Amino acid sequence: MYKWYLILFFLLNYKGYSQAQEIAHLTNLEEVSKNFTFDIKYATENNFLEKKIYDCSKCLLLPKVADALIAANNYFCEFGYQIKLYDCYRPLSAQKVMWEIFPNAMYVANPYRNKSVHNRAAAVDLTLVDFDGCELDMGTTYDFFGKEAHQDNFNLPEAVLQNRKLLREGMKKFGFNPIRTEWWHYDFTNAYSFPVLNSLFDCD
């Protein structure tokens, strides 16, 4: 009987070990640059689900995605702005929680089909802030699900259109592509070629 406890103990620990290994190669953006602002919404209840999905606030990305984002941030700094991040890597299990609450494929990627690029640590949700930390007016709040948030909606004040254009053009220069329905979301080049990950954040 004792032997089986030992095997069970080993298996449980091995699972934890392999989970940690799965995301060990990701870059923790906060550790490599002090020039970003972070407001990881799913680590709080201040999100469209009104539910805390992550155990802690972290921005983990594939190393090449993090490098490109640092380059983009340097570019925006020349204009007097800085990137503020709302979401980065999202474990597949968190995607399933979102889908259970809000199963609308226009705004939440189906975790049982093509999954989200956030699950691949190759997508970012972000906006721009000035050096006082004030967000630029992008016309809607983060995770506003409606046509006002769409990239192809030009029925918005000129200043909003200019702010979105600045963000879009800057991000594109560094390999990030917008999606039609969310002004805040950018996928890195070849985003769907990267593997889906499911390890939870190491919050220690």
Contact residues toward Zn ion (CB under 5 A) are 125, 185
Minimum gap (Å) between residue 6 Cβ and Zn ion: 43
Q: Which of 31, 50, 135, 182 is catalytic?
A: 182
Taking the least distance from each CB to Zn ion, the nearer of 81 and 86 is 86
In angstroms, give the least distance from the CB of 118 to Zn ion: 6
> What does the DSSP assignment read for 98-157?
HHHH---TTTS--TTTT--GGGGT-EEEEEEEETT-PBP--SS-TT--SGGG-TT---S-
Q: Which is nearer to Zn ion, 39 or 125 (by Cβ)? A: 125
Q: Could you tell me the smallest distance in angstroms from the CB atom of residue 160 to Zn ion?
A: 19
Q: Which residue is nearest to Zn ion (CB)?
A: 185
User: What are the E-state strand segments in the chain?
Assistant: 27-28, 37-38, 60-61, 81-87, 123-130, 176-179, 182-188
| Catalytic residue flag (residue 182) | yes
CB atoms closer than 10 angstroms to residue 187 = 21
Give me the torsion for CA of 109, 114, 115, 121, rounded to 10°: -120
Binding residues, by number, are 118, 125, 185
Which residues line the annotated binding site for Zn(2+)?
A: 118, 125, 185
If the CB atoms of residues 23 and 109 are measured against Zn ion, the closer one turns out to be 109
Residues catalogued as catalytic: 182
